[in-house]
């Protein structure tokens, strides 16, 4: 049975601060340099923010929104809300104004913490009588003539000196089954749905994931996926704090490579596309290297794959000649790949999409372990994840402890347990549709369980279609094959009620421009997509991929686009 020690998410911070008061809790760039803050410093700041919320009259159960990129201030507000029983509502800063308007109106948030002027302007443009926002706090201390706007510095002054007793009185009243947050996801109709998650949802996920992912008690997490997303929030925020780790915020996705070298993290969570891009960049460099270096690289990769598939994937270590060969491969090749990623990275977590088996095998062969998992916002998020000493490529692992998974007659993955959401906010009909009378949450994904209980995702239920010839097509594996090309950024396979499958393809700009320059073509990416030479290139890529598909799955026509979906 999972033994959850906490009843409130803020206890994750409080307990780690008690155990590791002087350990670095967060790192963040300020004026171009990473600044570090200890657990004690962060805890003191959290008490100050929580006291300010209490003095402002925010009661337990009220909603407070966060419209910001990742930052220490985001984390402080989150923990302060959890401590005082306030329900926070994270909003992606990339959302357009109409979506922000819907979320603020639906959630009833009367306070919004915003990152900068851009987000402030969004809120001010929609904060009318229908959306009664009473307080807007700017993280970057942007000011405005509107009396509802104050800076974060002004806000925390209201909580200084902090009232620890008042905060703990509020926290003692928080029950583990109380709602902690509402996370809005894009619904199938385009209208966001508010997923209600409790303290128990997150705490169960954190505790059971800790039983699966055996880490040291002091890791350095590189955080760059948005905290507005449940995946980063659980793993790169709550899980990291549970084990007393350091969380370093990347400046942006563009600065990630540089930030990794500066921070030298040990763990990082990402989506499959990042790993695909890293792999493509490495392989592109190999292609440009002299024949001897290429030969050494592929020899090393072959050795690494032999070690992974026959030993480390089942918890064993190689010995004898193979161990010697792997040590040589590591010295000549793999150590250089690790050095480019800071030299300390030992674990990647992959979620939010399907990781191609060959990508997982590549990184694991190089000694950079990737553990693929699976989950949804509605499941807090993790349902399954591979084990560090028992993993299978192409599978998302067995269910976490106390998480039930079964496959319905139509192939849909169903799950039940303490990880399943409370429901959709203000939408009982959608809740009833998603969670049946027996408590099973219907994921909308199609999958299968093998003899060891490992889950494999094959497609989204709503994406499966039938051609006019009566053939059932699961597009996800085909799309993943297409995206294995370094020239393809995104792909969508269509063909419902048609004679054959077609694809809408988004070109990968960087490798496409490189190919164009090598062939004396100087055009924009949009113009390149219409160029005959580029059309030939993509047809050639698709022809190669078609060889790996059943005849009825092959792509007969394609449209090439420059702009991502």
225 pLDDT exceeds 80? yes
What residue segments make up the domains of the chain, in order of their start? 464-561
Each residue's pLDDT tens digit, 332-350: 999 999 999 999 999 999 9
Mean pLDDT along residues 192-207: 98
Q: Is the pLDDT of residue 168 over 70?
A: yes
Question: Hey, what's the torsion of the CAs at 269, 271, 274, 275, to 10 degrees?
Answer: 80
The residues, ordered by sequence, that sit 6+ positions from 147 with a Cβ below 8 Å of its Cβ are: none
Q: At a CB cut-off of 8 Å and minimum separation 6, what does 366 contact?
A: 301, 304, 333, 334, 337, 338
**Residue of 255, 343, 202 lying closest to 70 (CA atoms):** 255
What is the tens place of the pLDDT at every residue in 379-411? 999 999 999 999 999 999 999 999 999 999 999
Look up residue 73 and give its two tokens. Answer: 């201030």
Q: What is the DSSP letter of 398?
A: S
* Bond preceding residue 161 cis, omega within 30 of 0: yes
Q: How confident is the model at residue 189 (pLDDT cuts 50, 70, 90)?
A: low
Q: Is the pLDDT of residue 188 over 60?
A: no
- Whole-number Å distance between alpha carbons of 322 and 256: 35
pLDDT per residue over 504-562, tens digit each?
Answer: 999 999 999 999 999 999 999 999 999 999 999 999 999 999 999 999 999 999 999 99
Region 34-58 average pLDDT = 99
Beta carbons within 10 angstroms of residue 346's beta carbon: 15
**With bands split at pLDDT 50, 70 and 90, how would you rate the model's confidence at 187?**
low
Q: What is the pTM of this model?
A: 0.90
- Looking at domain 464-561, what is its CATH homologous superfamily? ANL, C-terminal domain (3.30.300.30)
In this predicted structure, what is the pLDDT of residue 217? Answer: 73
DSSP 455: E
Burial class of residue 249, CB neighbours in 10 A (0-12, 13-18, 19+): buried
For residue 295, name the pLDDT band (cuts at 50, 70, 90): very high
pLDDT in tens, 272-289: 989 988 998 999 999 999
Torsion of CA 288, 294, 298, 300, to 10 degrees: -110
pLDDT band, very low/low/confident/very high, at 64 (cuts 50, 70, 90): very high
The distance of Cα 210 from the centroid of its chain, to the nearest Å, equals 17
pLDDT of 565 > 90? The answer is: no
């Amino acid at each position: 049975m999972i033994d959850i020690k906490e009843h409130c998410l803020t206890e994750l911070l409080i307990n780690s601060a008690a155990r590791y008061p002087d350990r670095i809790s967060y790192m963040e760039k300020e004026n171009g340099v990473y600044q570090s803050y200890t657990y004690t410093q962060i805890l003191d700041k959290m008490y100050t923010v929580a006291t300010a919320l209490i003095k402002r009259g925010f009661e337990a159960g009220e909603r407070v929104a966060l419209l910001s990129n990742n930052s220490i201030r985001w984390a402080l507000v989150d923990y302060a809300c959890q401590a005082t029983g306030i329900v926070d509502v994270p909003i992606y800063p990339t959302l357009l104004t109409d979506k922000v308007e819907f979320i603020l109106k639906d959630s009833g948030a009367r306070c919004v913490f915003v990152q900068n002027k851009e987000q402030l302007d969004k809120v001010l443009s929609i904060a009318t009588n229908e959306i009664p926002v009473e307080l807007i706090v700017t993280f970057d201390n942007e000011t405005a003539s509107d009396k509802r706007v104050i800076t974060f510095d002004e806000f925390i002054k209201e909580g200084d000196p902090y009232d620890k007793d008042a905060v703990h009185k509020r926290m003692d009243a928080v029950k583990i089954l109380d709602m902690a947050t509402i996370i809005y996801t894009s619904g199938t109709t385009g209208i966001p749905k508010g997923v209600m998650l409790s303290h128990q949802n997150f705490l169960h996920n954190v505790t059971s994931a800790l039983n699966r992912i055996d880490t040291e008690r002091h890791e350095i997490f590189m955080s760059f996926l948005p905290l507005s997303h449940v995946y980063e929030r659980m793993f790169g925020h709550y899980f990291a704090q549970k084990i007393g780790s350091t969380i370093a915020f990347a400046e942006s996705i563009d600065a990630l490579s540089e930030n990794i070298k500066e921070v030298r993290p040990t763990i990082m969570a990402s989506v499959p596309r990042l790993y695909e891009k890293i792999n493509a960049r490495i392989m592109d460099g190999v292609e440009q290297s002299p024949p001897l270096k290429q030969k050494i690289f592929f020899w090393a990769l072959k050795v690494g794959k032999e070690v992974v598939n026959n030993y480390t994937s089942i918890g064993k270590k190689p010995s004898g000649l193979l161990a010697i060969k792997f040590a040589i491969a590591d010295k000549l090749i793999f150590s250089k790949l690790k050095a480019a990623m800071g030299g300390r990275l030992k674990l990647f977590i992959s979620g939010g999409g399907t990781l191609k088996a060959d990508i997982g095998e590549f990184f694991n062969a190089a000694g950079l372990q990737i553990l693929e998992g699976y989950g949804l916002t509605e499941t807090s998020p993790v349902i399954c994840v591979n084990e560090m000493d028992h993993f299978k490529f192409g599978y998302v692992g067995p269910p976490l402890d106390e998480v039930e998974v079964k496959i319905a007659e139509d192939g849909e993955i169903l799950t039940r347990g303490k990880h399943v959401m409370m429901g959709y906010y203000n939408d009982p009909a959608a809740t009833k549709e998603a969670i049946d009378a027996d408590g099973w949450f219907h994921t909308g994904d199609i999958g299968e369980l093998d003899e060891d209980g490992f889950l494999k995702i094959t497609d989204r239920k709503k994406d499966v279609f039938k051609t006019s010839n009566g053939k059932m097509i699961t597009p996800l594996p085909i799309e993943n094959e297409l995206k294995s090309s370094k020239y393809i950024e995104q792909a969508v396979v269509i063909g419902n009620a048609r004679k054959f499958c077609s694809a809408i393809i988004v070109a990968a700009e960087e490798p496409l421009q490189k190919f164009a320059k090598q062939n004396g073509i100087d055009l924009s990416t949009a113009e390149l997509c219409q160029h005959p030479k580029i059309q030939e290139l993509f047809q050639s890529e698709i022809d190669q991929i078609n060889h790996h598909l059943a005849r009825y799955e092959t792509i007969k026509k394609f449209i090439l686009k420059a702009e991502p979906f």
